[in-house]
Amino acid sequence: MNWLTNVVRPKIRSILKRETPENLWIKCPDSGQLVFYKDVEQNQFVIPGSNYHMRMGAVARLKSIFDNETWFDVALPEVTPDPLKFRDERKYADRIKDARTKTGMNDAVKVGYGKLEGNAVVVAVQDFDFMGGSLGMAAGEAVVKGLELAVEKKSPFIIFAASGGARMQEGILSLMQMPRTTVAIQMLREIGQPYIVVLTNPTTGGVTASYAMLGDVQIAEPGALIGFAGARVIEQTIREKLPEGFQRAEYLKEHGMVDMVVHRHDLRATLGRLCRLLTKAPAAESFTTAAPLPPDVPAVASPA
């Protein structure tokens, strides 16, 4: 045995070896530029050079919206995790467990209640990392619960949509969430409170066919893919080539499907201004102090 080759060299390599996190660098899908992850995170997950808006997790999104990064974590109803005992290549129950481990969420929608520029709002966020933000029973219950809370508190409701559509593993039970959420939106309208939708990349399928396109104000992030069916399916159906940029936020704004396209850095201020205008609430002087919390619901601060 060669002592220098087999003993000394491996020890030296182990000493000099540095552990590199997997997500240390991010490649911009638009320009191909490599960007330091921490820089992107501090820039609200917008690539500094190209302004490409990357997907944003539910906790990070709530943290960016609420005053003082503090909100109520709204308790959501429990639902049967695998009502149809569905199985394809894997059990649906196993897919749910993996998604919960990956995201730390119970399902695709997280709901928070707090203050936005001094005014109380309910915010729901779909996390695309949880099975593509698909709409199932649990996600539908979360949206309905958030809308019911907004009715109870007489406050605006804001939803950040990001979804591939209905969750096929739950069949008709998933499709039933479309009319349920529509009815809950009508309840909010009947008390005169605004329902604001922020369309993020991507928002497609049954979510687009229901609550994602029913907002009093429709906002989209730059470059977001928004539609029902995929572009290839549409082209094969109508046997025509689609226009450039079809189903993107800017194209939809030009054709009246979206009210405004707002950069993520301006989104919080835009939402705060809309909530004040639509509820005729006075402008608050300072938003640095967290909202007082009711004694029966603990405050939840997003992790650093």
pLDDT along the chain (304 residues), means of 10: 60 56 79 88 91 94 96 93 92 95 95 96 97 96 97 97 95 96 97 97 95 97 95 93 94 96 97 96 59 46 41
| pLDDT value of position 11 | 62
Task: Determine, yes or no, domain membership for 2.
Answer: no
Question: Are 187 and 78 in a shared domain?
Answer: yes
Residue 209's nearest CA partner among 158, 163, 141, 157 is 163
Look up the domain containing 38 and give its range.
21-54
Identify the pLDDT of residue 291. Answer: 43
Tell the burial category of 91 from Cβ atoms under 10 Å away from its Cβ (0-12, 13-18, 19+): middle
Residues 66 and 33 in one domain: no
Q: Both 29 and 147 in a single domain?
A: no
| 45 and 81, same domain (yes or no) | no
Give the pLDDT score at 3: 60
Q: Please tell me the predicted confidence (pLDDT) of residue 218.
A: 98
What pLDDT is recorded for position 180?
Answer: 97
Which tokens go with 147?
A: 């809308």
d(Cα 108, Cα 60) in Å, to the nearest integer?
14
d(CA 269, CA 271): 6
Residues 6+ apart with CB under 8 A from 129: 55, 57, 99, 102, 103
154 and 237 together in one domain: yes
Shared domain for 100 and 26, answered yes or no, is no
Q: Is residue 169 domain-shared with residue 91, that is, in the same domain?
A: yes
Question: So what's the pLDDT on residue 9?
Answer: 64
CATH number of residue 67's parent domain: 3.90.226.10
Q: In this structure, are 96 and 110 located in the same domain?
A: yes
Q: Is residue 290 part of a domain?
A: no
pLDDT value at position 284? 64
Same domain, 252 and 123: yes
Domain shared by 27 and 148, yes or no: no
The pLDDT, as a whole number, for residue 289 is 43
Q: Are residues 217 and 227 in the same domain?
A: yes
Number of domains present in the structure of the chain: 2
